[in-house]
Amino acid sequence: MMPFRLGLTGSIGMGKSTTAGFFAAAGVPVWDADAAVHRLYAAGGAAVSPIADLWPQAVVGGAVDRAILKSLIIADPTVLAMLEPLVHPLVAADRAAFLAAVRADIVVFDIPLLFEKGTEADMDATLLVTAPTALQRARVMARAGMTEAQFHTILTRQMPDAEKRSRATHIIETLNLDAANACVTALIAYIRETRHA
């Protein structure tokens, strides 16, 4: 029986990584889209050679330098338009390999741009992690090196939280970590009950 695929998403500062950690702690395998990109950009990663062909200055010591790549994207918006069709199929292949190898009844796919990229179509259900705007802002601005301009740029790339709420199967508010963890435990139990009903 194929594992139940739960797509986990949430805008920056909403507590998505923490929530993914709760699933992992409960024994549910978690695939992390950002970690997959890190693997692809690392020395020997599948994205290094194609990126080197287009932007040789972005590859340093056999790995993609994310800071240089980021500066290229900021300087020229067409870079991102060329980069995405190159990287997304590699990320999708990484996700498929994870699913094929895993032995579990539920798997979580931690994907920041789940709705933006239409990846929810590959999931059995979706979980949105959310928090009030003021709390989100406070969390993000507390990050080292974060500026108002960077925060604004990130938000413009992400679907508004209200729209995500209308599309998500399940929603967890991360006001309180213990409560959020309890919600994760309850959701795992709910998925198992409904699958075997």
- pLDDT single digits (tens) 32-57: 999 999 999 999 999 999 999 999 99
The answer on pLDDT for 114 being more than 90 is yes
pTM: 0.91
> pLDDT tens digits, residue range 177-191?
999 999 999 999 999
What is the C-alpha to C-alpha distance for residues 19 and 15, in angstroms, rounded to an integer?
Answer: 6
Radius of gyration (Cα) for the chain, nearest Å?
Answer: 18
Domain range summary for the chain, segments of one domain joined by +? 1-29+106-191, 33-101
At 197, is the pLDDT very low, low, confident or very high (cuts 50, 70, 90)? low
Q: Would you state the structure tokens that stand for residue 193, as one six-digit string? A: 């009950």
Q: Among 3.40.50.300, 2.60.120.1130, 3.80.10.10, 3.40.190.10, name the CATH number for the domain at 1-29+106-191.
A: 3.40.50.300
